[in-house]
Amino acid sequence: MGTAAIKVKIMPTNPKANLDNIQKKAEKIIKDSGSKNVSSEREPIAFGLTAIITLFSWKEEDSTDDLLDKLREIEDISSAEVIDFRRAFG
């Protein structure tokens, strides 16, 4: 099977949530799940809320359900969802 490039949008519960802390924890969870090439950026949403958009490589045949569940357990996270899933190579 091939490798997929996945983008996950992580939404904080409120505008005052510590985005640096959330980003560090999310990237650690993703790396510990076997992903590579993890990068993140921030996207302003509305009313002071900023989402963290994380891009990483993933084995195409693996489900992302467990990963998303772990991300949703991070303190001050209201949601984590895959916003893009595409074959990268292989």
pLDDT (tens, 9 = 90+) of the chain, 90 residues, equals 688 999 999 999 999 999 999 999 999 999 999 898 899 999 999 999 999 999 999 988 888 999 999 999 999 999 999 999 998 765
- The Cα 89–Cα 87 span in angstroms is 6
Quote the pLDDT of residue 90: 58
Query: Which range of residues forms the domain containing residue 21?
Result: 3-89
Question: Which CATH number is 21's domain given?
Answer: 3.30.70.60
Per-residue pLDDT tens over the stretch 52-74: 999 999 988 888 999 999 999 99
Count of structural domains, the chain: 1
> Which tokens is 21 given?
């802390």
Following CA atoms 71, 73, 79, 80 in sequence, which dihedral angle do they give, to the nearest 10 degrees? 10
- The Cα 29–Cα 45 span in angstroms is 24
pTM for the full predicted model: 0.91
